Structure 1
């Protein structure tokens, strides 16, 4: 996972601020295409549960999967914010 340390830090900071924070699963092995599809769908369900989405994007970087998750959040009227300017 790209920016894993930054994601963990944001998760910790939100949690100690008293917020419920969800983050993508950290998988430390190769996954099949079926597993990847399942994990992507699971992450969208996490967005469904969210009051807002915080995109951890050091240096303004946003990958393809994150772009689709941002589009999903917008489509479901879930507010999106970013750690770094785009």
Structure 2
């Protein structure tokens, strides 16, 4: 079973949840998801730093990252995550090429 980390813009939160479901039930992947701020709580610099650190740790322990690139959109943070994953020998899977 391949372990993957989902990477995508938070403007695609609902889509990422559905994609995670499909990847697990249809592809048999073990999905490490983003943390979603469902209640829109304030995000301080320190919280953002912790979330980013946790997300990069997920990339470290996964086999691949799964890029949610709806309508071709890849933001700056996701571009950085792709570069990090490439530098660390991770497979990169683009959503636009899958479903």
TM > 0.5 fold call:
yes
Q: Which residue of 2 aligns with 1:48?
A: 60
RMSD over aligned Cα atoms: 1.2
Please tell me whether residue 24 in structure 1 is matched to residue 24 in structure 2.
no
Distance 2:92 2:29 in 1: 16
Q: Give the ranges of 4+ consecutive aligned residues of structure 1 lying more than 2 Å apart after TM superposition.
A: none
Higher-strand-fraction structure? 2
- Which structure has the higher relative contact order (CA within 8 Å, separation 6+)? 2
Residue 83 of structure 1 aligns with which residue? 95
TM-score (norm 1): 0.91
| Structure 2, unpaired ranges of 5+ | 1-9
Number of residue pairs matched? 85
Which ranges in structure 1 are unaligned for 5 or more consecutive residues?
none
